Amino acid sequence: MTPNGKSETSPSAGRTPFPRVFWVANAIEILERFAYYGIYFGFGIYLTHLGYSRDQLGYIQSLFLLLSYAVPVVSGTFADRYGFKPVLIVSYLAYLPSILLLMLTKSFSGIALTMLSIGLAAGIFKPLIAGTVRVTTDTTNKTLGFGIFYAMVNVGGSFGPIVAGRLRAISWNYAFLAAAIAVALMLLITVLFYKEPPRQRQTQTLGQRIGEIGRALADVKFTVFLILLGLFFWLPFWAFFNLCALYVDSNLDTARLYQDMRSVLGGSVAGFFARKGEDGSLRVIGETISHTGYIIMILQLGISRVFERFRPMPSFLFGLGVAAAGLGVIGAARMHGVSLVFVGIFLFAVGEMITSPRIQEYITWIAPKEKAGLYMGSNFLAVMIGGFLSGIVYTKLYAWFTAGGRPELVWYAMAAHVAVAIGVFAVFVKIGGEFREQSA
């Protein structure tokens, strides 16, 4: 009610309805994240199951993430010129045979090449649905539109590992087949229902796009900031996703973890996340719980509303502190109670919800309005740096600590890394000052 006792206009009264293609694109996003994370979160367990070393796992993880975040620069340019729908179909044609090949090849070189093909397909796909959401929203509905999109990412990213984990308890090929079916459905939906959203086509060539990124990186302060983000934020961030499922499955007492879950949630719910071990006991499946998607689905809106009242960099530094605490607690779960892993994952998820959306929003708003997309494209370079180094650094470090009988130490190393990051970014802001955000 207003002070005069009259009802205020509903915020949704002047909101433009979403077109059909918006909902089609979000359905495709759910299926793609289902397939991608269904494979990726369990991949470390799969490679260990085949007898390959954690060093070998680290190399594949690094190259996979490098491709996933380098290719969008190219695929985004082609989508702008030739349309989203043709490039979406190209991504599926790379995805589908690659996933099916996982069912056939067991050699290290074969698996490595197959995963790199999946990384290439994911990189082609990555900017296309976000691009569709952007061109099908306007000032009246963009916040809600991107909120729906982010929720769909986490719906697929949560259910993919759960379903794949349950299926791989029967056969790994069933898990891969489920991912392949999801991609086949994406292809079918795209061909039948995805209508190219109307927009002005770009004539920019790939060389021109790379030249523009080069001009953005000519800003030394911005470039240093991206490098620091890659080394001190995205590197440990990706290390969490590379290792958490493998750590839970290999280094924690998953039978005890199941019993603890059962005492709180009941047998029917806990059983959904478990399988029978060789000794007949029910054990939690590592990848079903070792991610943040289900927490983000529930809490992201509330976290965003709390922290929108604070400046971006202080919020980012606080979020890093929460994430660091979470990583340390995950390490403590091995020696001080396996159920602490839930506390650690929860704290890391809260840290992620504070830091990741806020820092990406910050990069958008420090850019001149006409260069917001270019600056966000440059942000892929920071993600790429962190993703590429995560497997080389932390998966190999995990292998070293595991050989010494102390696998939990890798989590303390990650926690220390993020704690150091707080000091690094605080010093960066003190010396160079915060970036000035542009006005709306």
Structure-block tokens of residue 305: 């509303």
pLDDT at 56: 92
Assess whether 44 and 155 both reside in one domain. yes
| Residue numbers of the chain with a pLDDT score lower than 70 | 1-13, 143, 199-206, 361, 364-377, 432-440
- d(Cα 115, Cα 63) in Å, to the nearest integer? 9
Q: Is residue 133 part of a domain?
A: yes
Q: Which of 259, 262, 280, 260 shows the shortest CA–CA distance to 270?
A: 262
Say what the pTM is. 0.84
pLDDT tens digits, 259-312: 998 998 888 888 888 888 777 788 988 888 888 888 888 887 788 778 877 888
Number of domains the chain contains: 2
Burial of 248 (0-12, 13-18, 19+ CB in 10 A): buried
In this structure, the chain runs to a length of 440
- d(Cα 420, Cα 432) in Å, to the nearest integer? 18
By residue range, what is the domain housing residue 74?
17-203
Assess whether 273 and 408 both reside in one domain. yes
The domain boundary residue, chosen from 182, 203, 224? 203
Q: Is residue 134 part of a domain?
A: yes
Q: Return the SS3 of 276.
A: strand
pLDDT at 141: 74
Assess whether 199 and 211 both reside in one domain. no
pLDDT at 1: 39
pLDDT at 437: 53
The domain boundary residue, chosen from 148, 177, 203? 203
DSSP string, 350-373: HHHHHHHHHHHHHHHHHS-GGGHH
Q: Is residue 3 part of a domain?
A: no
Assess whether 361 and 226 both reside in one domain. yes
pLDDT at 194: 93
DSSP string, 94-153: HHHHHHHHHTT--SHHHHHHHHHHHHHHHHHHHHHHHHHHHHT--TTTHHHHHHHHHHHH
pLDDT at 307: 80
Q: Is residue 114 part of a domain?
A: yes
The domain boundary residue, chosen from 179, 203, 227? 203
Q: Is residue 330 part of a domain?
A: yes
| Long-range interactions of 342-349: CB distance < 8 A, separation 24+ | 342/289, 344/411, 345/244, 345/289, 345/290, 345/291, 345/292, 345/295, 346/295, 347/322, 347/323, 348/240, 348/292, 348/322, 348/323, 349/292, 349/295, 349/296, 349/299
Q: Which of 102, 100, 81 shows the shortest CA–CA distance to 92?
A: 100
pLDDT at 35: 95
Q: Do residues 231 and 385 make contact, with C-beta atoms less than 8 angstroms apart?
A: yes
Q: Is residue 1 part of a domain?
A: no
Q: Do residues 369 and 437 make contact, with C-beta atoms less than 8 angstroms apart?
A: no
pLDDT at 118: 94
Structure-block tokens of residue 33: 């994240």
Q: Is residue 4 part of a domain?
A: no
Assess whether 197 and 338 both reside in one domain. no
Q: Which of 407, 408, 414 shows the shortest CA–CA distance to 390?
A: 414
pLDDT at 333: 95
Q: Is residue 25 part of a domain?
A: yes
pLDDT at 440: 46
The CATH number for 71's domain is 1.20.1250.20
